[in-house]
Amino acid sequence: MTGTDQELLDERYSLVMDGIRRIKEESAFGEPLLSYFNVCADMLDMLSAILDRSLCGGIKDMDTAALAAENHALYEDILGRGYDKSFTNPDYITALFEKENIGDAKPMAQYLSYLLVQIRGLIPYAYEGKKEIFTIHAELFAEIYSLFSFAALEGRYPEVSALHDVLYWFIRDDCEIIVPDNISQKIDPSNDFLTRIVCDEDLDDERYLYLSGEYVSENEKEMAAFISKLPEDTIDLIASTFTEGYRMGFVAADKPLEKKNGVNIRYSLGFERIIRKAVENFAAMGLEPVIYRAGSLSLTSSGTSKVGFYGAVPNRQYDYDHKDDLALFIDADLVTRRIEVLTKGYEAVKEKAYGHAGPAVMEVFGEVPFTPAAKESAVTFTDKTRKLSVDYSAKASLVINRYIIPEERSFTIIAFPSPEIGDDFEKIFFETVKLNTLPYKKYETIQQKIIDALDKAGSVRIKGKGDNRTDLTVNLMPLSDPATQSHFENCVADVNIPVGEVFTSPKLSGTNGVLNVSKVYLNGILYKDLSITFTDGMITDYSCANYEDAQKGRQFIKDNILHKHDSLPMGEFAIGTNTTAYRMGRDFDIEGRLPILIAEKTGPHFAVGDTCYSHEEDVRVYNPDKKEIISRENEVSAKRHTNEKEAYFQCHTDITIAFDELLYIRAVTGDGDIPIIENGRFVLPGTAELNEPLDRDQI
């Protein structure tokens, strides 16, 4: 930004904030609009003070108590029962507007609730001193306020269409500021606001937790305090397992790590001491850290998922209520515009994108299972807007893959419990450390025996027992040369920590039946009695018991598992072999709170969506026995050769069946069935050692 541009921005910022601060002196409206605009103005005023302080380094003078008080003030309106009377709560604001006959109440409430959510999304931008993004949002609020003020002079409310247009054109025009900034945050190491906190602050002082502006609960304070007391060799073990898994992912896939210079580290607040050591380890590999936040604006967020660095989630219902807010505005022109801006943004930083090696992710688990309320007042996608959203995701994926090349990138994921998991937190944490460092060679050997049996099969039968209604036939792609080819990958512990599983991409035609689990925890949401029906490998029906209204349950699944698609293929069939993880889940009664990363290793599982080889189907992959894994695509991903947009879904969700709900898994061959698991136990010769944790007495 030139000096003149900066001066102009400073002037715009001062003018708009002076106007916003005068709002409380005005009384152009009655209730509830008066309170609504005052709440928005107060939030912007508070964030403006933080922005000013950030730009002049004033945070250095604030002690922990002052920072903690500020942190609470920023989030108190959506915490606990406070959300019941928040203007960001669709039910609350809609009921108020209907009671007071505020224009076309429901859409008016949705637009104004959306606006306040965007204002709240400025919290990280204020802490990082992002004046331009802050200013354009403050100007947006001022424009909306003026729209209502002028209408009030005529004794009316503005038309909903006018409100829509102001917000729509803001998104359409100013995405060229917001989106490139978001891209740069993800791949450019010079955006080091969070890295400097990790590497430069005193991590033994609780004060550092408040420097990012993320919400800090007791959980993050307990996490940081616990990690600060761990011996250095434990920190080294955890960090080295994490970073070595990342390096081995490149080695195992024969990908060029030496061509890369940046790594994206994703984690949650409280783990900084481990991340600091990981940064050192990555530096030894020639990789600079890129630590970016989970998106907080409608143009940057991933719905209820937190992709990037994040603190405590103040209110998961708040996130759920607003996950589809962009449906208010999406149309074909906006999709085209966003893709143009996305492409231009990546082109501007293409050299850094080419050097980006991919994400290293440290997840946490242990949150209390959450079943969201489905609110009629919340914004939801229609069939038309849902298709547009899916279309954007498909096109955006193609753009990103042109700059961050799938065949050259890798990743690793590891997970640890947080104190939210309960009184056994410390025991579970150390058990998880052991879990993440299990001897991979032992599993590699046992898993090879399973693969050898499965490679004799044309299909696999999976049957549930008791109340579990699973009854599936998974068809396998034929091996033209069994001496050199395999269906299944022997997966130990590199990109996916901990060990272990064997997995394949099923042949869709001939893959039929019902998958059923009594309960499963996916992406922070609990599903009860989840059932999915497959016909020739594609989802044709689904249900759950989360809601009394079956149709609400179907919509819940479509939004959160099918990710708004009408159907998805079975992208993966796998047999998890980490019975130690299964035992840990049972012993501590935390099965429903294990992350997918661990849960998928605790039994047979099925992924809906893309295959594990998405966008890399043409890269040849080999098992340790030197056999090529040929099942890297299915009939859907094969469409990449003719219409890439139809080949991928940009999602992959694993659903695991517990061993005690499993009657059998059998490899079906021309000479009869080969039992792999019977009555919840491994029965294939050479696999009995996997049963030891299953048969062990509970702690």
38 or 24, which is more confident = 38
Q: What percent of the chain lies above the pLDDT cut of 90?
A: 80
Q: How many residues does the chain have?
A: 699
Q: Which of 595, 640, 666 is nearest to 305 (CA)?
A: 595
**Residues 471-516: pLDDT tens digits?**
999 999 999 999 999 999 998 777 778 888 999 999 999 999 999 9
Q: Which of 385, 413, 371, 482 is nearest to 652 (CA)?
A: 413
**Residues 198-252: pLDDT tens digits?**
999 999 999 999 999 999 999 999 999 999 999 999 999 999 999 999 998 898 8
Structure confidence at residue 699 as a pLDDT band (50, 70, 90): very low
First to last CA, the chain: 62
Q: What mean pLDDT comes out for the span 382-411?
A: 92
In this model, does residue 403 exceed pLDDT 50?
A: yes
Structure confidence at residue 449 as a pLDDT band (50, 70, 90): very high
In this model, does residue 614 exceed pLDDT 70?
A: yes
Q: What mean pLDDT comes out for the span 128-148?
A: 97
In this model, does residue 698 exceed pLDDT 60?
A: no
Determine the pLDDT at residue 616: 85
Structure confidence at residue 450 as a pLDDT band (50, 70, 90): very high
CB 531 within 8 A of CB 671: no
Q: What mean pLDDT comes out for the span 625-648?
A: 91
Structure confidence at residue 697 as a pLDDT band (50, 70, 90): low
- Predicted TM-score (pTM) of this structure: 0.87
Strands 672-678 and 681-682, how do they pair? antiparallel
Determine the pLDDT at residue 644: 81
Q: Which of 211, 242, 204 is nearest to 226 (CA)?
A: 204
In this model, does residue 433 exceed pLDDT 80?
A: yes
Q: Which of 190, 68, 167 is nearest to 116 (CA)?
A: 167
Q: What average pLDDT does the structure give for the chain? A: 93
Determine the pLDDT at residue 591: 83
**Residues 152-162: pLDDT tens digits?**
999 999 999 99
**Residues 550-604: pLDDT tens digits?**
999 999 999 889 988 999 999 999 999 999 999 999 899 998 788 888 888 888 9
Taking the C-alpha atoms of residue 56 and residue 647, their distance in angstroms, rounded to an integer, is 50
Q: What mean pLDDT comes out for the span 330-349?
A: 97
Determine the pLDDT at residue 67: 96
In this model, does residue 265 exceed pLDDT 80?
A: yes
Q: What mean pLDDT comes out for the span 179-184?
A: 97
Helix axes 332-348, 383-403, angle to 10 degrees: 10
Structure confidence at residue 59 as a pLDDT band (50, 70, 90): confident
